[in-house]
Chain A
């Protein structure tokens, strides 16, 4: 991921606004992902605002965060106004459709984490294929793949966040170079997880380069 075509000049256009919405289930590392994106953006000369939801992260609830770049002061993203959505779990990616518009890039993990009402038979988990088919028809582009499997492959099942960051960095939709994100990951990761995190990032990037994972309108 340090190839020349991914290298971008710093502060390409720090005024260009970009709203990134991250959503997942407690324990999936959404907050770390948004923080790393924010740190990378700051290092690259942008003025990022990152907002987080705290409190329910350990208890199986939904955890969302936002990263806002450019000439904007608000840390929040309103319904219908996310330019990029990272969905860490299939159902939560679909639920985040309310943040999307018709040019949104949605990067989604197709792996599921069953909510408790579904686990005990009180509610039904919708068909993943059905959800992604309908998603693809509404957003600008959908990049969907099993990020959970790639995290396992990297040696760290908890590295779904690194897989999705790698995929995002490889899409060319960020004003930050992949190398800027990687250098933040290197400084923020504990030694024993570094190799697996970098591998997960690379596997995510490879998934983004696979045309079979894309659906564009």
Chain B
């Protein structure tokens, strides 16, 4: 039983921010959760999937965030409480739905979790999604801790039903992936089937209807602003003529800075949790008696600009600063020491800044990096290798638009097979543009989950527009990067997974692709031959590289391969394996004349290298050892 389904009211548990959100939704009686996995939001879906197998909670890993949001919107229109979770860039995908769903509104409460990623721990950008609240006109809550994340999730459902619009719960990686004490409330029962009540002249957004809906949205915003004015999530503490306004996890750094700098009695601290619409009266009243105010917020000057506008309207002369030279950056996540330094500097108080030790300087030599690498036994590496050798044999340079997933690590040497990446699905459409503009040999790579997420329209376009490139679909049967979530083409099912299997091959054919190869990348001769044929052809071609994620297959089956491989005496200095393949199980013995070796602990037994190097042989004459 999921721990999120246990525990009595008042009990304190250590929960990840994402778990706190799920617990809050369960306490609010959420009936349906939809998501597309993406760090740092992935655990929300993972936990909800588990709970959906153990309770009557409905849950789906949708094909993308737009689909997830629309499925949730349909259910919310029938009175169900729904939660839709995604990473920040997922909201770009869902933005079309979001903007007009704000007009359509909801009947059951709807919470949309946008998990932003300052510092880009695992993202392609660090956009600040608080602007989506302003753009869509929807209310937004911003938790700073797991405890607040749970409380705000519960409150967001009620707020959504009161205002009849979705509510954004905007988090950052540091909130999603922090564990902290959470006080449990009572779990709520879920309602039975909802009912769709026809009301087309409020719910079908043709121009005449939408004109009226926009009026209602603005009225809901006014109501939301009034609620923000008295919200318990906006907390004022401290005293004095100076002020700090902050939101999110930056508020914890600001609070610690005041404690550690001894400024608690001299600075008034306003921690905002209800951050759209901004509570103009509360903020104006907060600013009025102050002489200078520092705004502590990660990423963009969202609060700062809002405060300056309010001060202008109220005719206040208070100095308001946040971003700028000597103050805060718009780049990357903050940390306690950084915030403490800026607070000290801004208010002109002394701070004993720690001078961090510099390990490389102390050792007087560089420390080796530890870059992430595709796993030993990864099918992506096998396909990359075959394609690389095929291009070398043909004497052709390949241009490699790539996509988002584990295989993006193909960027790193020695594979070096990633040249262009924007966002989910962009491999296929950018390949079309590059080949049309240059006539160069373009080979695009996309993963199976990403293909279903955003690849389909791009591939239909490529067929219809007669584009000329080779698309390699790296199908490992799961969404490996984010923790092995299923998708429509899934071949590795989590236990009990009820989804219908939609084979990629059938989809590709149905989209009108006539030149199609399907290979098992671990069969080297076949995949090399197919790669060469596909490279030599013209027009739109698709090569599906089909082999399960080794890591996940092993976890699901509980079985480990026993075959292991070793390097024989004949190994010379060709270094093909190190220069073109880069398996993490291979290493050179230390020393100048170091011999290549295979680490039996790391070797996965995939038997790929043995097919192209005569100096690698099975341990124990081809039989698996004990």
* A residues neighboring B (CB under 8 Å): 25-26, 35, 38-39, 42, 47-56, 58-62, 71-81, 91-92, 94-101, 114-121, 123-126, 130-131, 134, 138
Kindly state whether residue B12 has any CB partner on chain A within 8 Å.
yes
Contact with A along B588-599 (1 / 0, CB 8 A): 101000100000
Question: Could you tell me the distance in whole angstroms from the C-beta of B244 to the nearest C-beta in chain A?
Answer: 14
Known: A52-B178, A75-B249, A98-B357. 11 other contacts (CB 8 A): A50-B180, A54-B177, A60-B584, A61-B371, A74-B335, A76-B253, A76-B336, A79-B356, A115-B368, A117-B369, A121-B594
Asked if A100 contacts B357 (CB within 8 A), the reply is yes
- Can you list 8 A-B pairs, Cβ within 8 angstroms, ordered by A? A26-B372, A50-B14, A54-B177, A55-B122, A62-B370, A74-B249, A77-B336, A98-B359
CA distance A114 to B370 in the complex (A): 9
- A48-B14, A119-B587, A134-B362 given; A78·B336 CB < 8 A: yes
Asked if A80 contacts B178 (CB within 8 A), the reply is no
Known contacts A54-B40, A124-B368; is A80 also within 8 Å of B181 by CB?
A: no
- Determine whether the beta carbon of A119 is less than 8 Å from that of B365: no
Query: How far apart sit A29 and B319, CA to CA, in the bound complex (Å)?
Result: 48
Chain B residues, CB < 8 A from A117:
368-369, 371
Smallest CB separation, A62 vs chain B (Å): 5
Asked if B362 and A119 make an inter-chain contact with CB atoms under 8 angstroms apart, the answer reads no
- Point out the residues of chain A lying under 8 angstroms from B362, CB to CB: 97, 134, 138
In Å, the complex CA distance between A120 and B179 comes to 37
Chain A residues near B40 (CB, 8 Å)?
54
- Nearest chain B CB to A183's CB is how many angstroms away? 14
Contact of A75 with B369 in the complex, beta carbons under 8 Å = no
Contact B371 A116, beta carbon cutoff 8 Å: yes
Closest chain B residue to A123 by CB distance?
B368
Check if B338 is an interface residue, CB within 8 A of chain A.
yes
Query: Which residues of A have CB within 8 Å of B367?
Result: 91, 94-95, 126
A42: chain B residues at CB < 8 Å are: 12-14, 181
Closest to B271 in A: A73
A-chain residues with CB within 8 Å of residue B366 when the two chains form the complex = 123
Q: What residues of chain A lie closer than 8 Å to B375, measured between beta carbons?
A: 58-59
* Residue among A60, A101, A116 with max Cβ neighbours from chain B (10 Å): A116
**Is there an interface contact between A74 and B357, defined as CB atoms closer than 8 Å?**
no
The CA-CA distance from A120 to B363 in the complex, in Å, is: 22
Instruction: Assess whether B39 is interfacial by the CB under 8 Å rule.
Output: yes
Instruction: From the candidates A25, A74, A130, A134, name the one contacting B256 in the complex (CB within 8 A).
Output: A74
Complex Cα distance, B372 from A54, in Å, reads 12
- Contact (Cβ within 8 A) B409 A79: no
Partner of A52, one of B177, B249, B409: B177
Q: CA of A55 to CA of B39 in the docked complex: distance in angstroms?
A: 7
Q: Which of A39, A58, A115 contacts B14 (CB 8 A)?
A: A39
Smallest CB–CB gap between B124 and chain A, Å? 13
CA distance A47 to B145 in the complex (A): 12
Chain A residue with Cβ nearest B480? A58
Q: Which of B178, B256, B374, B588 contacts A120 (CB 8 A)?
A: B588
Chain B residues near A92 (CB-CB < 8 A) = 370
Chain B 338-377, CB within 8 Å of chain A: the 1/0 string? 1000000000000000111111001101111111111100
Task: Confirm or deny: B337 has a beta carbon within 8 angstroms of a beta carbon on chain A.
Answer: yes
B335–A60 contact, CB under 8 A?
A: no
Q: Given A47-B181, A91-B367, answer yes or no on A119-B588 (Cβ-Cβ < 8 Å).
A: yes
Instruction: Determine the residue in chain A with the shortest Cβ distance to B42.
Output: A54
- Among A59, A80, A96, A123, chain B packs the most CB atoms within 10 A around the CB of A59
4 shortest interchain CB distances as A-B pairs: A78-B337, A80-B354, A79-B356, A119-B587
Tell me the complex Cα distance, A120–B415, Å: 14
Quick check: B14 and A35 within 8 Å, CB to CB? Answer: yes
Complex CA gap A123/B355 in Å reads: 28
CB distance from B325 to the nearest CB of A (A): 21
| A75→B252 contact, CB < 8 A | yes
Report B-chain residues with C-beta under 8 Å of the C-beta of A60. 370-373, 584
Residues in B whose Cβ lies below 8 Å from that of A130: 363
Tell me if A48 and B181 are in contact (CB < 8 A): yes
User: Considering only CB atoms, which chain B residue lies closest to A117 in the complex?
Assistant: B368
Residue of A nearest to B409 (CB): A59
**Known pairs A42-B14, A74-B256; A120 contacts B370 (CB<8 A):** no
Q: Which residues of B contact A76 (CB under 8 A)?
A: 174, 253, 335-336
Which residues from A are CB-within-8-Å of B373?
59-60, 116
Please determine whether A55 and B368 come into contact, CB atoms closer than 8 angstroms: no
B178, A75: Cβ atoms under 8 Å?
yes
Contacts of A91 in B (CB 8 A): 367-368, 370
What residue of chain A has the Cβ atom nearest to residue B353's Cβ?
Answer: A80
User: For residue A184, which residue of chain B has the nearest CB?
Assistant: B14
Q: Does chain A have a CB within 8 A of B312?
A: no
Asked if A119 and B584 make an inter-chain contact with CB atoms under 8 angstroms apart, the answer reads: yes
A118 with B368: in contact, given A35-B14, A51-B177, A74-B253 (CB under 8 Å)?
yes
Distance from B498 Cβ to chain A, minimum over Cβ atoms (Å): 26
Contact A38 B372 (CB under 8 A): no
| Chain B: CB-nearest residue to A115 | B370
What are the residues of chain A within 8 A of B356 when measuring CB–CB? 79-80, 98-99
Identify the closest chain B residue to A131 (Cβ).
B363
Q: Are B178 and A51 in contact (CB under 8 A)?
A: yes
Give chain B residues whose Cβ lies under 8 Å from the Cβ of A114: 587
Which A residue's beta carbon lies closest to that of B374?
A59
Write out the residue numbers on chain B whose beta carbons fall within 8 Å of the beta carbon of A48: 14, 179-181
B259 within 8 A of A: yes
Task: From known contacts A54-B40, A81-B354, infer whether A71 and B14 are also in contact, taking CB-CB under 8 Å.
Answer: no
- Least CB separation from A92: chain B residue: B370
CB distance from B150 to the nearest CB of A (A): 15
The answer for the CA separation of A78 and B122 in the assembled complex, in Å, is 21
Partner pick for B121 among A49, A53, A58, A126, CB 8 A cutoff: A53
Cβ–Cβ < 8 Å partners of A116 in chain B:
370-371, 373, 582, 584
CB of B423 closer than 8 Å to a CB of A: no
Contact call A97/B335, Cβ cutoff below 8 A: no
Say if the beta carbon of B278 comes within 8 Å of chain A.
no
In the bound complex, residues from chain B placing their C-beta under 8 Å from that of A58 are 375, 551
Q: Which residue of A lies closest to B334 (CB)?
A: A76
- In the bound complex, residues from chain B placing their C-beta under 8 Å from that of A79 are 337, 354, 356
Which of B39, B40, B368, B586 has most A Cβ within 10 Å?
B368
CA A98 to CA B179, docked complex, whole Å = 24
Give chain A residues whose Cβ lies under 8 Å from the Cβ of B335.
Answer: 74, 76-78
Docked-complex contact B365 and A126, CB < 8 angstroms: yes
Q: Given the complex of chains A and B, what is the CA–CA distance between A54 and B119 in angstroms?
A: 13
B368 in complex: contacting residue of A26, A125, A134, CB < 8 Å: A125
Return chain A residues, CB-CB under 8 Å to B178: 49-52, 75
What is the distance, in angstroms, from B103's C-beta to the closest C-beta of chain A? 36
Q: How near does chain B come to A135, taking the closest CB pair, in angstroms?
A: 8
- Are B358 and A59 touching (Cβ within 8 A)? no
Residue in B closest to A157 when the chains form the complex, CB atoms? B601
Q: Roughly how many angstroms separate A95 CA and B365 CA in the complex, as a whole number?
A: 12
B578 interface residue, CB < 8 Å from A?
A: yes
On whether A115 and B369 interact (CB within 8 A), knowing A35-B14, A58-B551, A98-B359, the answer reads yes
Q: With CB as the reference atom, state the residue of chain B lying closest to A66.
A: B178
> A residues within 8 A CB of B133?
none
Beta-carbon contacts under 8 Å, B161-191 to A: 174, 177-181
